[in-house]
Structure 1
Amino acid sequence: MVYDLPQLCARLDIPVPALRSALASPEFRGVNTLQLAGDTDLCFADGADQIPAVQHSGAAAVLVHDSFPVVSGPLLIRVAEPRASFFLLAESFRPTSEVQGIHPSAVIDPGAVLGEGVAVGACAVLADGVRVGARCTIGPGVYLGPGVTLGADSVIEANAALHRDTSVGKRCIVHSGTVIGGDGFGFHWDGHAHRKVPQLGRVVIEDDVDIGCNCCVDRATLGETRIGRGAKIDNLVQIAHNTDIGAHVIMAGQSGVAGSSRVGEGAVIGGQVAVSDHVAVGAGARLGGQSGVTKDVPPGAAMFGTPARPVKDTLRELAALAQLPGLLKAFKRQQQELDALRERCAELERRA
């Protein structure tokens, strides 16, 4: 994508900057950071602390707040929300998918149904009963098992696997290496051995969900494992069987939710957080990184630590813990002084 200045301003619905309106318009061929930008790149600056970076940037233009000071350097384009405007434009520079059309090495069962404009990469396998919506992209090496359905405009990146009966909504992205619909971790001790519990349910992923690389979303034992609309899942996340992840939930890398737990709408789960089984995390709750959640979390609560407790309580405990070495030294000193006093008293009693 290439923008000239009038096109860019039209996209942002702002007037062409007055000083440049009658001049030759620069071309914008990409987006970049202030430090790395070249003379055809567009950048943004959030605050006045970035003035030096703006002045020394080689960018063609920088999106800034209306209140940003007048400085020398690149053209300043003033907008209400520079960050949001920048990402709106950055979407236009997304590289075109490498997957175009149906690759001859793809294996597509005659019982699979593909919508208009679907692209399927090399060595992908689509089983019987697969239903793929319009304009979906199926990357190289992807496996779509029997009965898998994809909504329109979804992307399944290279080497992801969606097992039988998985349902994925519209405009979803499943990144490379992720496995959806593998068996849940269910075993029963019969007195002699761990016997596998059949995992007969499925996974349902609603619209506009983004799942990172190398995640695992297990099928339900019975019923559904569900991820709500708009949820964003980072890399290396584990979502166990029969879990319900609410709409617009954020899960950061290496976090995990054990079986039959519920995460409410809009909750934020930090990196390496572990949520135990059969736990309810309330809507809008925030769980700090590396927390261990073993009990229900109220809606809107901010929790941290292992076991997870209210953030203020945990921070007070950590502050007290940091004082422990000094307190131990003081205790030992006081103990030595007390022992010396006892010896002195005993000596005085013997002399009396």
Structure 2
Amino acid sequence: MSTRLKELVERFGGQLQGSGDIEIVGIAPLDVAGPAHITFLTNPKFRSQAAQTKAAALILSAADDALIGAEYGGTRIVAPNPYAYFARVAQLFEAQSSIPAAPGVHPTAVVDSDAEVAATASIGPHVVIEPGAKIGEHVVIGAGGYVGRDARIGAYTRFYARVTFHARCEIGERGILHSGVVIGTDGFGFANEAGTYVRIPQTGRVMIGNDVDIGANTTVDRGALSDTVIEDGVKLDNQIQIAHNVHIGAHTAMAGCVGVAGSAKIGKYCTFGGAAMILGHLTIADRVHVSSGSLVSRSIHEPGQYTGFYPLAKNADWEKSAAIVRNLSAMREKIRELEKTIKSLTESKTT
């Protein structure tokens, strides 16, 4: 399907520079876009490439348009946030090209008679839905999915194949859970008794808000007594572990392999780079940004960028540095003794 540029501007806003009657059939990167594509510029280092692109239209900022618009010469859509504009255009093309899931329950699905499934919902092959579960309007449950007893799934939420959503957990509207996601497993709760472990039943839930995306093979544990909470707009990448009783504030995003230990409280609008680790029972303020690979070992009370890892080096150099780090405490004591000696010598000379 094709879309005219003026239709994009009518839908998403922006300032059109050039003909609005040009039809485009898709989005492509700057270097491969052709005369039927729209492309976008967000990074200044690609300005020269954008000026030479063969795309039918270019999404860019007012500042970039002033610098390269004339050189490019084609139709432009000037937007305050070109990347967000690109995302919305991409969503439009995805919706136009995708085949909507047909409402109804697949013959191989097992849906308990006490479950409530909206007539517009689509329940795929070999799905199991337990008693008391409520499936909202236009929900899609992909093949092999599982929805536990008394679970709640809000309207327009989509579970891709093999999502497991355990008993009493809830998710709001327009959520997306990718394949392999597991919501509501037991948290890691055990009481030590003379060197052995006594299991602590995990009786809380997982409560997920609206517009939440969760990547493949990510797991979110249910709370021990209170709930694990993921607020509206949170974005979780693949292979993330969220432990019991964690609370993640609205519109926080985490890249792949992040681990969040139990009872951590994370604020709104935070970001965490890949493989960042957050220890348990910490509090992290709103708008905190943690670099990839960092270990957060203390609470963070002020917004800002935080980094906590040792710089990469050749192994031999790293081992030397590690040896120095191990000896820092002893070196500090030696320095203190030297300072005392120097101070004593200085005082004796002045007297």
Provide, for residues 164-192 of structure 1, a one-character-per-residue CA deviation record: whole Å limited to 9, x for no partner.
Answer: 10110111111111100001111122225
Provide, for residues 6-50 of structure 1, a one-character-per-residue CA deviation record: whole Å limited to 9, x for no partner.
Answer: 3234334467655x36xxx43211111112223321111236643
The equivalent residue for 1:336 is none
Q: 2:121 aligns with which of 95, 118, 121?
A: 118
Unaligned runs of 5+ residues in structure 1 are 307-313, 316-320, 329-352
TM-score (normalizing by structure 2): 0.80
The equivalent residue for 1:27 is 23
Equivalent residues in 2 for 1:41-190, closer than 5 Å? 41-46=37-42, 49-66=45-62, 67=66, 68-72=68-72, 74-94=74-94, 95-97=97-99, 99-102=101-104, 103-190=106-193
- In structure 2, what is the Cα distance between the partners aligned to 1:42 and 1:106? 42
Q: 1:227 aligns with which of 220, 227, 230?
A: 230
Moved more, 56-65 or 160-169: 56-65
The equivalent residue for 2:248 is 245
Query: What SS is found at the alignment partner of 2:69?
Result: coil
Q: CA deviation at 1:261?
A: 1.4
- In structure 2, what is the Cα distance between the partners aligned to 1:288 and 1:31? 30
Equivalent residues in 2 for 1:201-350, closer than 5 Å? 201-305=204-308
Asked whether the equivalents of residues 259 and 275 of structure 2 are also in contact (C-alpha less than 8 Å), the reply is yes
Asked whether the equivalents of residues 51 and 71 of structure 1 are also in contact (C-alpha less than 8 Å), the reply is no
- In structure 2, what is the Cα distance between the partners aligned to 1:51 and 1:297? 38
Query: What SS is found at the alignment partner of 1:87?
Result: helix
Q: CA deviation at 1:305?
A: 1.4
Asked whether the equivalents of residues 54 and 74 of structure 1 are also in contact (C-alpha less than 8 Å), the reply is no
Asked whether the equivalents of residues 99 and 121 of structure 1 are also in contact (C-alpha less than 8 Å), the reply is no
Aligned CA distance change for structure 1 residues 240 and 41 (closer, same or farther; 3 Å) = same
Asked whether the equivalents of residues 69 and 76 of structure 2 are also in contact (C-alpha less than 8 Å), the reply is no
- In structure 2, what is the Cα distance between the partners aligned to 1:97 and 1:299? 46
Query: What SS is found at the alignment partner of 1:69?
Result: helix
Provide, for residues 238-289 of structure 1, a one-character-per-residue CA deviation record: whole Å limited to 9, x for no partner.
Answer: 1101111111112121111111111112222221111111111122222222
Unaligned runs of 5+ residues in structure 2 are 312-316, 325-351
Moved more, 165-174 or 80-89: 80-89
Moved more, 86-95 or 143-152: 86-95
Q: Give the share of equivalent positions with the same residue, in percent.
A: 32
Task: Establish whether residue 2 from structure 1 lines up as the match of residue 5 from structure 2.
Answer: no
Q: CA deviation at 1:73?
A: 6.0
Asked whether the equivalents of residues 2 and 27 of structure 1 are also in contact (C-alpha less than 8 Å), the reply is yes
- In structure 1, what is the Cα distance between the partners aligned to 2:214 and 2:142? 15
Q: CA deviation at 1:161?
A: 0.4
Aligned CA distance change for structure 1 residues 122 and 39 (closer, same or farther; 3 Å) = farther
Structure with bigger gyration radius: 1
Asked whether the equivalents of residues 45 and 64 of structure 1 are also in contact (C-alpha less than 8 Å), the reply is yes
Task: Establish whether residue 37 from structure 1 lines up as the match of residue 39 from structure 2.
Answer: no
Aligned CA distance change for structure 1 residues 48 and 168 (closer, same or farther; 3 Å) = closer
AA at the equivalent of 2:300: V
AA at the equivalent of 1:42: I
- In structure 2, what is the Cα distance between the partners aligned to 1:140 and 1:88? 28
Aligned CA distance change for structure 1 residues 42 and 162 (closer, same or farther; 3 Å) = same
- In structure 2, what is the Cα distance between the partners aligned to 1:220 and 1:148? 15
AA at the equivalent of 2:296: V
Aligned CA distance change for structure 1 residues 85 and 100 (closer, same or farther; 3 Å) = same
- In structure 2, what is the Cα distance between the partners aligned to 1:69 and 1:199? 59
Q: CA deviation at 1:163?
A: 0.6
AA at the equivalent of 1:125: V
- In structure 2, what is the Cα distance between the partners aligned to 1:99 and 1:36? 32
- In structure 1, what is the Cα distance between the partners aligned to 2:116 and 2:196? 43
Asked whether the equivalents of residues 63 and 76 of structure 1 are also in contact (C-alpha less than 8 Å), the reply is yes
Aligned CA distance change for structure 1 residues 249 and 12 (closer, same or farther; 3 Å) = closer
Aligned CA distance change for structure 1 residues 193 and 171 (closer, same or farther; 3 Å) = same
Q: CA deviation at 1:206?
A: 1.1
AA at the equivalent of 1:96: S
Aligned CA distance change for structure 1 residues 81 and 272 (closer, same or farther; 3 Å) = closer
State the Cα RMSD in Å.
2.5
- In structure 2, what is the Cα distance between the partners aligned to 1:74 and 1:183? 56
